[in-house]
Amino acid sequence: MKGDVPMRSFPRHLLRGRFQDPRVRLAGAGSSESRTQGGGDSRATGPIEDADPRRSAAARRARGFWKRPLNAALLCVLAVLAFATPAGAATGLPPIKHVFMITLENENAADTFGPNSPAQYLSQGLPGKGVFLPNFYGVTHESLGNYVAMVSGQGANPQTQADCMFYSDFAGGATGPDGQALGDGCVYPASVGTVANQLTDHGLTWKGYMEDMGNDTTREAALCGRPGLNTQDNTQKATPTDQYAARHNPFVYFHSIVDNAVYCEQRDVPLDQLQSDLQRPWTTANYTFITPNLCHDGHDTGCADGEPGGLVSADTFLRRWVPLILSSPAYQRDGLLLSTFDEANGDPQSGKADASACCNEAQFPNTPNNGGPVPGMGGGRVGAVALSRYIGPGTVSTQAYNHFSFLRTVESLFGLPYLGYAKSPNPGSFGNDVFSRR
């Protein structure tokens, strides 16, 4: 947000005349302000000193503080900086404190949001409630590299581009430019952080809700479900009773999360817990990541349980869960919902696979081709829809964004440092083109 900054962005402690640097505590500043008794003239009666000698002494120190030219100049500089900082956050973002993300699978924006889309709720209903982002991009092929990027800012490597059929430990560990872990493998070292770790470190909460996780505990556990380290991933293919896929659950690919079993199991949970968690603001996580099963995310067509799959089943999933989110107290108070896809499939006009990119996406250091099996720099144009009380309904932003952009947006909203490619090269983040209401 540029231009004049509303008065509410000026720090209240400066408006009260207090300099709250922990090295210079002026707890009584202003306490000896001239006052009168019985409505008399303060110039005649003089100031009334505070009865508490400690506060009176503080007031004298405060007066001395302001008489020092260096200190007065410092306060002036702070005042200028305060007026230069937009309200709510350094980037001028609205005061959103609950973020919901629903990630679907493998669709091109032209198919999903075109006039003949079988997903009418997603393509017509939801854009009418928020902003349509036609130029939202995946960052790689295939799925897992995108999910890893969404939560960590890490670029893909050959194993994540191949969806980690074997749940291998990451080999390497040195950190290269742009905060990238250098090496190859699936489960990133504990030194590689995620937005989940950041939220915890800042006293905030997160949860991943995974549909079907634990339906068949011979495939995966019901909490923090993942293969054994350095073993075959048996969740790669759906069954009629369990269509959970570990590769669509980004949190289980980081030692910084899975090495603490209790920590992971309390936060990486089955989707059926979401409805009860939405009932109260204090049980709704600040960051909620929702992964449908392999049928409801549109990945499979002709699903293992007999459902049609594709955009038809994805739309049915959204019709059930999005209204629950939108009616929740946390969303209504200060929420943001993003629904998007991990990567694009073939372009419907040319028939060619789409590995296009945007947003200053760099060449990843661990792979010769960002597009993985598809020549190109990214994961193709997938499109997205974002909803919030701070977003004008029925709006469109043609600004280009990708998964790194949304990670940067989330980190900005919560005042977190930028991770990996969310920081550099700058992929951009949602601005007034998205948050058009205040």
Q: What is the pLDDT of residues 276-318, one digit of tens each?
A: 999 999 999 999 999 999 999 999 999 999 999 999 999 999 9
Per-domain boundaries in the chain: 7-84, 98-422
Is the pLDDT at 263 greater than 60? The verdict is: yes
Residues 354, 171: Cα–Cα separation, whole Å: 29
In this structure, are strands 395-396 and 131-133 parallel, antiparallel, or unpaired?
parallel
3-state secondary structure of 84: helix
**Minimum mean pLDDT among 14-28, 60-74, 248-262: which range?**
14-28
Per-residue model confidence (pLDDT) at position 349: 67
206-215, 225-234, 343-352, 353-362: least confident range: 343-352
Task: Using the predicted structure, report yes or no on whether residue 102 has a pLDDT greater than 90.
Answer: yes
- Given pLDDT bands bounded at 50, 70 and 90, which one contains residue 352? confident
Compare 13 and 377 and report the one with higher pLDDT. 377
Largest CA distance in the chain: 90
- Cα-Cα-Cα-Cα dihedral of 418, 422, 424, 425, to 10°? -160
pLDDT band at residue 438 using 50, 70 and 90 as cut-offs: confident
Q: Point out which residues pair with 401 in neighbouring strands.
A: 136
Distance in angstroms (rounded) separating the CA atoms of residues 111 and 314? 13
Residues 383-407: tens digit of each pLDDT: 999 999 999 999 999 999 999 999 9
pLDDT at position 353 is 85
Angle value at C-alpha 39, between 36 and 43, nearest 5 degrees: 45
Is the pLDDT at 71 greater than 60? The verdict is no
Tokens of 77: 């500089």
Helices (H) and strands (E) in the chain, counts: 15, 14
Place of tokens 């059930």: 320
**Alpha-carbon span 389 to 338, nearest angstrom:** 13
Encode pLDDT of 317-330 as tens digits.
999 999 999 999 99
pLDDT in tens, 14-40: 333 333 333 333 333 333 333 333 333
What average pLDDT does the chain have? 85
Q: Output the pLDDT for position 348.
A: 59
Residue range 98-422 in CATH 3.40.720.10: yes
Helix, strand and coil percent figures for the chain, each rounded to 5:
35, 15, 50
Cis previous bond, 177, omega within 30: no
Residue 123 carries which DSSP code? Answer: I
- Output the pLDDT for position 51: 40
User: How high is the pLDDT of residue 17?
Assistant: 35
Place of tokens 């915890």: 200
Residue 188 DSSP one-character state: B
In this model, does residue 223 exceed pLDDT 50? Answer: yes
Report which of residues 106 and 13 the model is more confident about.
Answer: 106
Note whether 388 and 349 are within 8 A (CB). no
Query: What pLDDT shows up at residue 72?
Result: 47
Q: What are phi and psi of 412, to 5 degrees?
A: -65, -45
Q: Which of 244, 285, 243 is nearest to 266 (CA)?
A: 285
Contact criterion met (CB below 8 Å) for 248 and 143:
yes
Q: Is the peptide bond before 115 cis (omega within 30 degrees of 0)?
A: no
331-356 mean pLDDT: 89
Residue 327 · residue 379 · CB < 8 Å: no
Give Cα separations from 369 to 161, 171, 240 (angstroms). 10, 19, 35
